[in-house]
Amino acid sequence: MKRVVITGMAAITPIGNGWAKVADNLKSQQTGIRTMTDWDCYNGLNTRLAAPVEFSRPKHYTRKQIRGMGRVAMLATYSTELALQDADLLNNPCLNNGMTGIAYGSSSGSFDGLIDFTKMLLDHDKGSLNATSYIRMMGHTAPVNIGLHFGINGRIIPTSSACTSGSQGIGYAYEAIKNDQQTIMVAGGSDELSPSQAAVFDTLFATSTRNDEADKTPRPFDVDRDGLVIGEGAASLILEEREHAISRGAHIYAEIMGFGTNSDGLHVTQPNQNSMQRAMQLALNDAKLDSNAIDYVSAHGTATEIGDIAESHATCALFGSKMPISSMKSYTGHTLGACGAMEAWAAILMMNENWFHPTANLNAVDPKCAQLDYITGGIRELEAEYIMSNNFAFGGINTSLIFKRV
């Protein structure tokens, strides 16, 4: 089995597009949540909260290059460009000789492509469609556009699995290298902001409606939480076979030690504590580690009651009450397909700097949640050797990743 390391990373987030800015906001507990006044036109939509990113088409991207890209794919492609630059692999021949593959996902494609098809059905006129409508809409638009843009011709693994799209992308990329099927993998996830995404959770009464208190929500694990907030963004990680990375003198951020994924097989939207715990245990088994080796857990932490309670009890059952834990979604909102990659990116960089962010807006832990060492109030200075990043999705899909400090 090959060892797998991370040699490049980049993210586009609601709290900044570079680590320096993101770190400042995490340390000062400045979130990216905003009141979306332009959503007032949607009758029946209860939430007016979201976490948008500052992003527009990169100036060096030509119209021809982006003709098949909606916002989802463009976020993914540009964050991948930054990650490849970070890994010193941009324009490297290894991208185009079969050595490199892609494992990347999003909850769905871009809604502008879907709207083209909807107009056809409503107007009974195919004139709304063009040659790229489906390419922008399709569930695997992100990895396909990444491959086309950079000429990557290894395997493509689409991971359109809602909230675990990014974490499954990392996990399956790790397995492809570990099993000697690829030498390098682009991994990650992206999603774009849309009121229709908010409406999905709104119909489940799972969104925060503190519309005039954007700075006080979401509140993962807090007794006064009232639901999640939708966000957008992208994060890309470059995974590489360890000896190949060392031979070319690459900077190594971390080593991936374990990956676990499973499904509940019980309910589409209600999380299951036992399945969550088993996914974490699968990651530990893959890493050949005992639970006491983990120093910090990056929580899924959506700020929904059922999710927070199940996740906290699954974590406590495996690690005990002294495990430090926090949720990045309190800053970025729930970035859906991007969250697994975005949270792994931040957790790795914090591990390398010996600190971890608190959960914003967590003032009083819900007594229904398990007792854990919830990081609140300010950053936690901590030298960690192993960290775990967990994500859980609609459909009962659970993921757990373990990273080792290098």
* Three-state DSSP class for residue 233: strand
Residue 140 annotated among the catalytic residues of the structure: no
Confidence check: pLDDT of 123 > 90: no
Confidence check: pLDDT of 327 > 90: yes
**pLDDT tens per residue, range 138-164:** 999 999 999 999 999 999 999 999 999
Contact 37, 45 (CB under 8 A): no
Q: Which residues of 12-40 are buried (b: 16+ CB within 10 A; e: fewer)?
A: bbbbbbebeebbebbeebebbbbbbeebe
Contact 51, 375 (CB under 8 A): no
C-alpha to C-alpha distance for 290 and 224, rounded to whole angstroms: 34
Return the closest-CA partner of residue 22 out of 343, 401, 384, 362. 343
What is the rounded average pLDDT of the residues 24-30?
98
Of 140, 149, 313, 334, the active-site residue reads 334
Structural element, H or E, at residue 266 = none
Please give the domain boundaries of the chain with CATH numbers for all domains.
Answer: 4-405 (3.40.47.10)
Residue 124 annotated among the catalytic residues of the structure: no
Q: What are phi and psi of 391, to 5 degrees?
A: -145, 145
pTM for the model: 0.97
Contact 184, 241 (CB under 8 A): yes
Q: With bands split at pLDDT 50, 70 and 90, how would you rate the model's confidence at 97?
A: very high
Of 140, 149, 163, 316, the active-site residue reads 163
pLDDT, residue 114, reads 82
Query: Tokens standing for 80?
Result: 């991948």
Residue 244 annotated among the catalytic residues of the structure: no
Of 140, 300, 313, 357, the active-site residue reads 300
What is the rounded average pLDDT of the residues 375-397?
96
257: left (phi over 0), alpha (psi -120 to 50) or beta: alpha
Confidence check: pLDDT of 117 > 90: no
C-alpha to C-alpha distance for 340 and 181, rounded to whole angstroms: 23
